[in-house]
Every structure is written in structure tokens, then in C-alpha cells.
Structure 1
Amino acid sequence: MELQMLVSLVEKDQEDRSHFGVSLNIPGGVIYGNVISRHAYVRVWESELRGLPGAGATSLARLPKLIDEVLHEERAAAASPGAGAGGGADPLPRWVHLQDARFLTGSSNQTMHYALWRGRLADVVGWSLSIPS
């Protein structure tokens, strides 16, 4: 829950200037990078894909916004008065977005780099407010 609260603070920055370094233990290894807001993730995703050639790049560039629209509609429906006893939107984020992420699997030749990475906070089994040096 503490990690969700920290991610929530980054999400509330309207100017997308907030970020922090984190290492996350997830199934399969450890991933580390800078936590950024969902909005910053979408903006970087779009800018990187818009420059690629081909008709598919434009469609892929719009994908995160389309997903956000669907999720927003689902949350609104769950929060509506007729949603039942379990209704109400969860105020804490369900996803974490990393920029300049590195994934370590335990083998030195298995380090992977991601310009952007998105993962479910529910899959994080441990974390640290640090990035390996």
C-alpha cells in the first residue's frame, strides 16, 4: 500500500515533473527505473511512436489513450450508485509506470532495457526506493 501511495503522489503532479527511482521485485526478477505518471508514460509512448514510419505507428501511438478511456469508463460505471455494495472507485493506482527501466533475471547477460515499462502493482512482491549502481 505504501508503494501505491507513492505512485499516487506522482500521478497527482499536473506538470509531470515528479519521479523517483525504485527497484521492484516482480515474478521472474527485479526491474528498476524511474517511476513516472500515467500521463507522462502516455506522452512519451506517443512521441516515440509518432516518429516511426508506417500506418501502424499512428494506431499504436494512440493505444495508451484508448486503454485509459476504456478504464475510465469502467471505473465510472463501478462508482455509479447502481453498482452494488462493492461500488466505488479505488483511489489508489493499480499500475506503475517506469521510464529507463532495466530488468534483471539473475544472469548478467540477461539484463534487458526498456524505454518505458508498465506493470501491475499487485504483482510487486517487494520494493526499494533505490536504483542499483
Structure 2
Amino acid sequence: MYESEAAGPDQRDDTAHPNVVEPFLDLDLQMLISMLDGDETGQSHFGVSLNIPGGVLYGQAISRKAYEEEWENSLRDASGSGSESLARVPRLVREAVREELGSRTPALLPRWVHLRDATFLTGAANQTMRYALWRGRLADVAGWSLSLPS
């Protein structure tokens, strides 16, 4: 439904904008991620297991800053064409967002979760995948635990 349709025929606006409905994000998990992001040193982390589409993912939750730094460091010394450009991607995105926002205040709570040393379990035999770094939308997390599988 468009905003102009919701207003009724007498109040129709010439410009129709779709209503954007965002999923309700888990406030507790958002706050934990926010605490990580608030650590200026980028050293804080905690073990977490996430139920996401397709399986369970677990690893060390880290801040966006730590994720960006580890991404850049992992690619800085990599061989191959394009590795230097790929290493700069997180920093370029952050700078573009800052430029776009200008003096406006960004959203206070994070919408992404970043993991280090992540393991993804699908439930299928021989389908365990490991990632040095992983990033996913908090909106895709159906459940979570502040623990790692034993």
C-alpha cells in the first residue's frame, strides 16, 4: 500500500511513497552489539550462537570497527590483483555513509552482527563451513544464545 492510498481519496498526495515495514529486531541482541561497537579499542568480543536461515552459526561477536580492521588486515598482504582495492572496501563504505549523513545522527542501534572465527552448521552431514570473518543482518537472526556449542 502507498501512503497516498492510505490517506484516502480526498487527501491523496501527488507523490506516492511505499510504506517500508522493517522487521522488529531483538532489542537485547542489538544492545549487546551496540556495546561492542561502543568499545573504542575494538578489543571486546563475546561468544554467541545464532539461529539463522539454513542453520546455526556460532563464533565470537566483534564490533564493526574490529570487523573492518580485520578485513583490511587479512587482505592487505594478500597476493592477487584487486586485493588492495578489496581491503579498502569497509573504510570506503564508512566514509561514503558519513558523507551522505552529513550532520544528521545515524541510527543508534546496529542492524548488523559481525563474527570472528565463525562456524556454520546446516544439519546436513559434512556441511560445516568456517569463516574467519562473517557479517549478517540482525533481522535474519531468529534466536540466539550467549554460549558456544560444546
* 2: CA distance, partners of 1:53 / 1:108: 33
Query: Alpha carbon RMSD of aligned pairs, Å?
Result: 1.5
37-46 or 61-70, which deviates more:
61-70
Unaligned runs of 5+ in 1: 81-87
Pairing 1:16-55 to 2, within 5 Å after superposition: 16-55=42-81
Pairing 1:34-113 to 2, within 5 Å after superposition: 34-74=60-100, 76=101, 80=104, 89-113=106-130
* 2: CA distance, partners of 1:64 / 1:11: 15
Deviation at 1:72, TM superposition (A): 3.1
Give percent identity, aligned residues only: 61
Unaligned runs of 5+ in 2: 1-26
SS of the residue 1:109 aligns to: coil
SS of the residue 1:55 aligns to: coil
Matching residue of 2:131: 114
* 1: CA distance, partners of 2:93 / 2:106: 17
Counterpart AA for 2:133: L
Task: Indicate the structure whose relative CO is greater, using CA pairs within 8 Å and at least 6 residues apart.
Answer: 1
1:124 has 2:150 as partner = no
1:7 has 2:33 as partner = yes
How many pairs align?
124
SS of the residue 1:14 aligns to: coil
Query: Rg bigger for which structure?
Result: 2
* 2: CA distance, partners of 1:96 / 1:52: 25
Q: What's the TM-score, normalizing by structure 2?
A: 0.77
Q: What's the TM-score, normalizing by structure 1?
A: 0.87
SS of the residue 1:110 aligns to: coil
Counterpart AA for 1:33: G
Deviation at 1:107, TM superposition (A): 1.6
* 2: CA distance, partners of 1:121 / 1:15: 23
Deviation at 1:89, TM superposition (A): 3.2
* 1: CA distance, partners of 2:137 / 2:46: 17
SS of the residue 1:116 aligns to: strand
